Every structure is written in structure tokens, then in C-alpha cells.
Chains A and B, each alone.
Chain A
Amino acid sequence: MNWPQSMLGAAGPHAGGVESLWWLFFWITAVVYVLVIVATIVAVLRRGRPVDPRDPAASRGAGVVIASATGVTLVLLFILLISSVRTGRYSIQGLADPSHVNIKLTGNQWWWDVEYESKLASQRVQTANEIHIPTGRPVLLKLQSTDVIHSFWVPNLAGKKDLIPGHQTELWIQADRSGVFRGQCAEFCGPQHAHMALLVIAESPDKYAAWLEAQRHPAAEPPDEMAKRGRDVFLSGPCVMCHSIRGTGAGGRTAPDLTHLESRLTLAAGTIPNTPGHLAGWVTDAQGIKPGTRMPTIGINGEDLQALLKYLQALK
């Protein structure tokens, strides 16, 4: 669960601009800070002779010092202003490339719905809370929200962009090296705002293509009798009202798509790792793990739970 989430480890062009800007600010303000402290210490320690304020030569000297310090401050502030505006303009600019990937990202209280767009319906892919992207290729994120304002923020790749209900916003991201980068909703969106994370998995174009192809397939058939019973529990119980598993009758659209649940690294939008124990805990008592989440306490008995877990773990 320790994936980097820092603007100081930029992995893409937009984040790179922000990182350089950060270092420019850091060094300029650090040098100014040290100079001011040194000047203060020197002024306190120096025991010069008393200066007569009516002496024209002394006040001229002070005037020159004040004017030049103001001038240097102004120049430095303008350097910071111009570089900040330039970085801002660059980071909202598109990374025009005809081969870019289109992803529709919809914010929900408190998870991310991810759809890989395609002109062919059979090529579309639906997943949740994890975005796989190929390295070295721009990705256009089309951001939407179904309920409140959320904000997409993966600091290793780009700045923040809000997801606004009823209005589509766009953000370009690109990863130049592979890795798993953590993102976080950056706009307070309700009691579980802190547990609304997502992962961006940047991988080589070959691995990405293989992943996308695997995601296009419908869900795996249950491997044994117990898993088959688990599928019946899923399809005849409350799960089916909200979740969808492609290839079965489950077509709910208000909760994360579970077709390839086991291929994901986390559960509940980055709240807990995707392990059998955590999955069991989440199915049984989601409200205990993430109070207020839309997943209700369903009241499932032990045998059904074991069968259901067996089925869910087969959704590779």
C-alpha cells in the first residue's frame, strides 16, 4: 500500500514542469531567507558609532540600500510570477497526439469509475479505481461526476483537476517511466473523502495492450462447485442490485464493475489491499471499514460468504 504520491518524483511532462517550478521557488526563497537572516544577525551584532539622522551622507547611504533591496525583490518576484504562469499555461495545454488513449473517469461518492472509450462497443472496458496507461503515450482523461465535486490528483503525473457534476472537464496526462502512482481525491466530497484514492499503473505498451485485451473479456467461469454456488449467491442476493459482472446477469451500474476484481491491487478505492481476508471483511462489514460508504451491510451467512469469496477470487 506504499505507492509514491509526490510531486517531487515527476513521471510525466506536466508534473515535470511543476517539479522544476517547485525547485525554482525553493532555491530562490531559500537564498532570500538565508540572506535576510544573515543581514539581521549582522545588524544586531554590529556596534557601529551612532549615526546622526540629520547627516545627509548617512541617509543617502540608507536610501541606496533600501532602493536596491526593493529592486532585487521586485525582479525576483517577477521571475517567480512569470515562471509560475508559464508552467500553468503549459500544464493545461493538450499533448496533441493522434494515438492518445481516451479514458472517461467518473467520480462517485467514494470511488472512481473508469471507462476506456472505443468506437466499437465490444472494445470498451469498464473498471474501477485503477487506471492502466502505456508509457510514452498521452492519455486524455474526460472527467465527470455523478454527485458532488471531486478532484483528480495524481501528483506524480499532473496537477489537480476538478470533476464537476453536469460538466465534463479534461486533463492530459502522460507517464514517461513505468511505475504505480497513487492519486487522491483532492476536493472534500463527504465523510469518506479521505478514502477515495486511485492508482495509476504506468507500464510498457506491450504489457498495457495485454492488460487491455484481458479486461475486454467477460468474467471467468467459476472453476468449481463452490464457486458456482458463490455465483448463485451473487446473482440472487443484494450484490446484483448495484454491481455488474460482464458475462452474467449482473448489470448494476451504481457500484464498481467486478468483472476482473482479482486483477486489482486494492479494494474500496485504495482503502484496503485486495487480499482474501480484506475482501471477506469488506463484504461482511463495509460500514465498519468505511463508515457511510454506499455498500450496505447485507447480512450474509457463513457458508454463502465462503462460496461468494471463492467466486469473487476467481474473477481474474
Chain B
Amino acid sequence: MMRLVTIVTLVLATAACEREQRRFTEASPASGVPQTLKMGQLEPGGSPQQVAIQSEYEENAWAISEGKRNFEWFNCVGCHAHGGGGMGPPLIDSRWIYGSEPENIFATIMQGRPNGMPAFRGRIPQQQVWQIVAYVRSIGGLTPADARSQRDDDLFYKKPEARTPQKGPEGQPGRRP
């Protein structure tokens, strides 16, 4: 009897695992792009505190890995590398020129920023932009650690990138969080 209860509990517990859920169809086909983002401070009727955007993708490992794939496919790596930066600013440090909240990063991708960041509005479906936002925040360490696998969704022959390095740069011991 005890064993049965344990098994049933374990089976039911798996229903709570949303980390690996794959939601392929979210936006209904042929739906327009809604305007959810506020672009300025001024608006009629006073300005109450804006409701923070909760991005479900930040807790979903598959969405983050999709964000990573699109980060490469859409050539974000061309300027930002894999977060280390190059022609564009790095994304793994704590300095965020235009804000680190999901809506800030979303706006940066959609609208572009002066001195080089292109605007991707209309070029990337909104759902994929949110996935890229989740990935960008994950490499900066801003998302929950359990979903932050930073893996590719295909053949994995390297060690996970989020793993603490055994050996730090220039022969120093690896950083332990």
C-alpha cells in the first residue's frame, strides 16, 4: 500500500515539471502582433506602476535553448559573441546600458539601439524574441538556475556551458558560486 502511494505521488509530481515542457503552438495561427510594450513615460490618466512582465520562458529549459539557437541563427553572436561581447557590448556582465528587465531587453531587440544595434521588429516573431530574451538573461545569470541549462537542443558533445570551470582563466582556480 505504502509503495503504491509513493508511486502515485511520484507520478503526480512529474506533472509539476514545467522545466522541460515544449509548447510548439502558442500564438494562434494568423494572429496579429499585439502591442503590450510601453514605449514612453507619458500617458493619459496618470501613470500607475507598470505591471512587471512575467516571462514563463525564463523557467523553461527548452525555451531557453530555443532562444540560444535563434541567438545564433539570427546572428546576435556576430556582435555579442556568446555573451562575451565583441563589436557589441557583452551580455554576461552586470552593466546593462538599457536595462536588464525582460521588457527592456525585448525593447532593445525590437526597436534597436543607437550605434549599431539593429531593430528586429517584424523580422522575428514575438514568441521567438521572448525566447531570446530568456536566453540573454540566462547567460547574465538573471533567470532561475534550475532552468538555466544553456544547452543546445541537439547532439551534446561538450560539457554544459553553465558548469563551473575546473580551472579558471590564466591558471587560476575555478570560481565556486
A residues bordering B, Cβ < 8 Å? 109, 147-149, 165, 190-191, 236-238, 240-242, 254, 284-285, 287-288, 291-292, 296-302, 305
Query: Top 5 A-B pairs ranked by shortest CB distance?
Result: A147-B154, A285-B29, A291-B24, A287-B25, A148-B155
Which of A148, A238, A284 is the one whose CB lies under 8 Å from B122? A238
Contact A291 B125 (CB under 8 A): no
**B73 adjacent to chain A (CB < 8 Å):** yes
Total residues of chain B contacting the partner, CB 8 A: 22
Contact B128 A300 (CB under 8 A): no
Contact B32 A301 (CB under 8 A): yes
Min CB distance B66 to A, Å, is: 9
Grouping DSSP codes into helix (H, G, I), strand (E, B) and loop, the A interface class, with mixed when no group exceeds half, is loop
Contact A148 B154 (CB under 8 A): yes
Residues of B within 8 A of A300 (CB): 30
Q: Tell me the complex Cα distance, A236–B119, Å.
A: 12
Which of A148, A242, A292, A297 is the one whose CB lies under 8 Å from B27? A297
**B149 adjacent to chain A (CB < 8 Å):** no
Contact A297 B125 (CB under 8 A): yes
B22-39 interface with A by 8 A CB criterion? 22, 24-27, 29-33
B residues bordering A, Cβ < 8 Å? 22, 24-27, 29-33, 73-74, 122-128, 152, 154-155
Residue of B nearest to A147 (CB): B154
Contact B27 A241 (CB under 8 A): no
Residues of A within 8 A of B124 (CB): 238, 241
Contact B73 A284 (CB under 8 A): no
Min CB distance A54 to B, Å, is: 57
Contact A292 B32 (CB under 8 A): no
Residues of B within 8 A of A165 (CB): 154-155
Contact A291 B25 (CB under 8 A): yes
Residues of B within 8 A of A236 (CB): 122
Which of B24, B32, B73 is the one whose CB lies under 8 Å from A241? B73
Contact B123 A284 (CB under 8 A): no
Given contacts A147-B155, A241-B74, contact A288 B25 (CB under 8 A): yes
Instruction: Name the residue in B27, B126, B154 with the highest tally of chain A Cβ atoms < 10 Å from its Cβ.
Output: B154
Given contacts A147-B155, A148-B155, contact A305 B30 (CB under 8 A): yes
Q: Tell me the complex Cα distance, A254–B25, Å.
A: 21
Residue of B nearest to A304 (CB): B30
Min CB distance B86 to A, Å, is: 21
Q: Tell me the complex Cα distance, A254–B73, Å.
A: 7
Min CB distance A188 to B, Å, is: 12
Residues of A within 8 A of B155 (CB): 147-149, 165
Residues of A within 8 A of B26 (CB): 297
Contact A297 B127 (CB under 8 A): yes
Q: Tell me the complex Cα distance, A285–B25, Å.
A: 9
Min CB distance A243 to B, Å, is: 12
Given contacts A165-B155, A241-B74, A297-B125, contact A302 B22 (CB under 8 A): no
Q: Tell me the complex Cα distance, A18–B81, Å.
A: 49
Min CB distance A146 to B, Å, is: 8
Q: Tell me the complex Cα distance, A288–B26, Å.
A: 11
Residue of B nearest to A302 (CB): B30
- 10 new A-B contacts, CB < 8 A, other than A236-B122, A292-B24, are A148-B155, A240-B123, A285-B25, A285-B30, A287-B25, A288-B25, A292-B22, A297-B29, A299-B30, A299-B33
Which of B24, B29, B152, B154 is the one whose CB lies under 8 Å from A284? B29
Contact A288 B29 (CB under 8 A): yes
